Amino acid sequence: MYRKEQTHKWMERTQTLLQALKKGIPAAVIEELRAVLRFHENRYYILSDPLLSDYAYDQLFKALEKIEKEHPTLIRPDSPTQRVAHELTKEFPTVQHLVPMLSLDNSYNAEDLLDFDRKVRELSGLTAVPYCVEPKFDGGSISLIYENDKLVRAATRGDGVAGDEVTNNIRQIRSVPLTASFSTCGIKQAEIRGEVLMNKENFNGYNQHLTAQGLVPLANPRNAASGTLRLKDPREVAKRNLEVFVYHLSYFSLQKEEQWPLALQSHAATLGLLWELGFRSPEHEKIVFSTIQEVIDYCTAFEATRDALPYEIDGMVIKVNEVAVQEKLGMTSHHPRWAVAYKFKARQATTQLIGIEFQVGRTGAVTPVAKLEPVAVGGVMVSSISVHNQEYIAEKDLRIGDQVLIERAGDVIPQIVKSLTEARSGKEKPIEFPSVCPVCASKLFKEEEEAVWRCINTECPAQIVERIIHFVSKDALDIRGFGEANVRKFVELGLLHDIPGIYTLDFTQIATLEGFGKKSIDNLQQAIELSKKQPLHRLIYALGIRYVGETTARTLANAVTHLLDFQQFTEEQLQQLEDVGTKVAGSIFQFFSNAEHIALLQRLEKLGLTLRNEKKASPASGSLIGKTFLFTGTLSKLKRSEAEEMVRTHGGQLLSGVSAKLNYLVAGEEAGSKVEKAKKNPSIHIINEQEFINLLGK
Ligand code: AMP
Ligand code: ZN
């Protein structure tokens, strides 16, 4: 129980342990140590309001590990050290639920809710029924069983009667307590229902990671959460940072049969109890309403805030608050009569797949893009969706002419969920993947471990266009007024053939084109001239070397005094650089081993571009020299890009991920997995935005 005892008492207990650290915490107080660690885990993972520095937490955690190592007989499965599993799961056995996991009846508008309320009042014989209203979390449902205060089993919903046992995977989720003192209210065994979620930030990050690996991104956070629960390696599950919300106590048995615990007489009170016991449950204080009209208003207001939530919800769930009334109403074989889901506007739609267009990217990758009969999804018109690669098309069994279900979750790029195979007429055509480039007709190639086919003709017009577009883009050389449309037009008209051509454009010809007055030509000329003086890292990024993003480009720029110095670097030397792994090093090495690329760089230098690292010549200065930084979450005072620029101008360096080389992780609001990862390393300072600003002042 975390909130019953006052926080200052917990802090006193924490202090006592921290003081004991110097002499070594005796094995005799192991349970006290565990209790204190659990309290702080709750503050961190459930309340997102830690009271202890990461460093101090780690010290206590290590002390516990040490005692357990020295006295293995004291290890208990619910110890905070015991989440980590090292063995792969062989299978997920099917287990019966103590109580069937039913569906919910659906409602879509105020009318439906008024109907629901009418029926509830009729059946219960009451004139007014208070309701509890919660978000309908859009993840995977799970059941958790606690016996004598310990988590003993976790299972997926399955067919509602029996599901898959996934206990080891659920143990990796930090918002699920391994122990919870149900016994304090007389409960011996309890089954709890909840939803496993992947929050939007983690989901987007995970998809980015998949796409960077040439793998197929997932359609929505719900699939990501359910899929993660089925991973055989619990350590992988731990990395995905899932979260669990619990919303129902579906079964319990009492130590002494006689009395029904007071805390369980209403749904809101049950949620409150679960919260007390250390679970993450919906806010229980503000969600009880005495009339259906208030329920309707609350649901409408909540829908407006949907996108601002860190995780996906697809509606609200309205539940009769009094447990006695719930029992009176009972359930059908499909759903309880005392609850109803209020579904938000769908973010799914069905439409027809009318064709496939193959687009050739800057690196020659050929991406199939599904052309759709335009349809509105969640307020946005969608007419084309990337379908990634051949494997993806095969896996989803997509055919031209198919009706497809598409989804646009929150801030996520629309995806095809599936094709509705049952709606086929037989006239649908399989999608044929070209064997030659749709633009230059040269043969396509695919690397063994990759899913994408590539055009490897470096002269391929499609690639040239995309490369030039990237070169002039905002984050690269930022040639204002050039833009995608102009690049395409100039290339089409034969005025531009390659990157150096940007600097030798024939403006007398351009002046004859429609839409190019003197003013716009002057501006364009000026922007091109300015781009020659852009710092080296921008040029490196502009070159579009595979796997070299903006951060790596900066690292590279800082490593040399002249760009062509990279010709002397071995792959091993490249790997010594910050954040450069084998794959990235290999790609950079290849780039600088290619005579054509060297010739390109020499030409650019002749045309007046800066290949020298101007800053490197003068020794770096600033208060952050030698310090590395990473930002996560949303900052409130500064923009992320501003903050990053401040790090650089003060001589600090930015990293792209949490690693042993990181000195400061600046955590804004709703910071996610990076903080958890950084917490594991005591040498990383986790600071907030204000502390960061203070640091600059020094
Ligand atoms: P459905 O799958 O549409 O029949 O809806 C039922 C499912 O909604 C349950 O199995 C739960 O997984 C899920 N759900 C999400 N949030 C809640 C909540 N607050 N209360 C009850 N069920 C919920
Ligand atoms: Zn081609």
Least confident of 18-32, 248-262, 421-435, 584-598: 248-262
Q: Atom of ligand 1 at shortest distance to CA of 140?
A: 12
Q: What is the pLDDT of residues 541-557, one digit of tens each?
A: 999 998 898 888 999 99
φ/ψ of 419, rounded to 5, equals: -100, 145
Strands (E), 599-639: 628-632
- Distance of alpha carbon 100 from alpha carbon 482, whole angstroms: 62
- Are residues 180 and 201 in contact, defined by beta-carbon separation less than 8 angstroms? no
Cα-to-centroid distance, 315 and ligand 1 (Å):
9
Q: Parallel, antiparallel, or unpaired: how do β-strands 150-156 and 140-147 relate?
A: antiparallel
The residue nearest atom 12 of ligand 1, judged by CA position, is: 141
- Distance of alpha carbon 85 from alpha carbon 28, whole angstroms: 26
Which residues make beta-bridge pairs with 400? 429
Does the beta carbon of 360 lie inside 6 Å of ligand 1? Answer: no
Active site residue 136: yes
Which residue among 144, 156, 195 has the greatest number of ligand 1 atoms within 8 angstroms of its CB, and so is best to mutate? 195
Average pLDDT over residues 659-678: 87
Tell me, what's the pLDDT at 388? Answer: 87
Cα-to-centroid distance, 461 and ligand 2 (Å):
7
Average pLDDT over residues 557-584: 90
| pLDDT bracket for residue 410 (50, 70, 90) | low
Written as one letter, the residue type at 596 is E
The residue nearest atom 9 of ligand 1, judged by CA position, is: 103
Q: Parallel, antiparallel, or unpaired: how do β-strands 415-419 and 131-137 relate?
A: unpaired
Tell me, what's the pLDDT at 617? Answer: 41
Tell me, what's the pLDDT at 164? Answer: 94
Q: What is the pLDDT of residues 504-521, one digit of tens each?
A: 999 999 999 988 999 999
Q: 597 vs 54, 545, 604, CA distance in Å?
A: 47, 10, 11
Cβ neighbors of 94 (< 8 A, separation 6 or more) are 158, 162, 163, 164, 165
Q: What is the pLDDT of residues 128-182, one digit of tens each?
A: 999 999 999 999 999 999 999 999 999 999 999 999 999 999 999 999 999 999 9
Tell me, what's the pLDDT at 285? Answer: 63
Which residue among 99, 137, 306 has the greatest number of ligand 1 atoms within 8 angstroms of its CB, and so is best to mutate? 137
- Distance of alpha carbon 401 from alpha carbon 385, whole angstroms: 15
Tell me, what's the pLDDT at 411? Answer: 56
Residue ranges near ligand 2 (ion) with Cβ within 5 Å = 437, 439-440, 455, 457, 460
Ligand number, closest to the Cα atom of 106:
1
Catalytic residue (one of 22, 62, 136, 443): 136
Q: Check pLDDT > 50 for residue 619.
A: no
Does the beta carbon of 270 lie inside 6 Å of ligand 1? Answer: no
Q: At what angle do helices 30-41 and 54-70 cross, to 10 degrees?
A: 150
Q: Which of 500, 552, 567, 562 is nearest to 528 (CA)?
A: 500
Cβ neighbors of 690 (< 8 A, separation 6 or more) are 637
Q: Atom of ligand 1 at shortest distance to CA of 341?
A: 5
Q: Atom of ligand 1 at shortest distance to CA of 141?
A: 12
| pLDDT bracket for residue 300 (50, 70, 90) | very high
Which residue among 138, 161, 247 has the greatest number of ligand 1 atoms within 8 angstroms of its CB, and so is best to mutate? 247
Q: Which of 412, 663, 555 is nearest to 547 (CA)?
A: 555
Cα-to-centroid distance, 168 and ligand 1 (Å):
23
Q: Atom of ligand 1 at shortest distance to CA of 282?
A: 19
Tell me, what's the pLDDT at 223? Answer: 87
Does the beta carbon of 358 lie inside 6 Å of ligand 1? Answer: no
Written as one letter, the residue type at 342 is Y
Tell me, what's the pLDDT at 304? Answer: 86
Average pLDDT over residues 96-117: 94
Q: Which two tokens stand for residue 128?
A: 């007014």
Burial class (CB in 10 A: 0-12, 13-18, 19+), 483: middle
Q: Atom of ligand 1 at shortest distance to CA of 106?
A: 3
Cα-to-centroid distance, 545 and ligand 2 (Å):
18
Q: What is the pLDDT of residues 272-295, one digit of tens each?
A: 999 999 999 887 667 899 999 999
| pLDDT bracket for residue 676 (50, 70, 90) | confident
Q: Which two tokens stand for residue 675?
A: 């903080």
Cα-to-centroid distance, 442 and ligand 2 (Å):
6
pTM: 0.63
Q: Which two tokens stand for residue 325?
A: 């009334």
Cα-to-centroid distance, 363 and ligand 2 (Å):
10
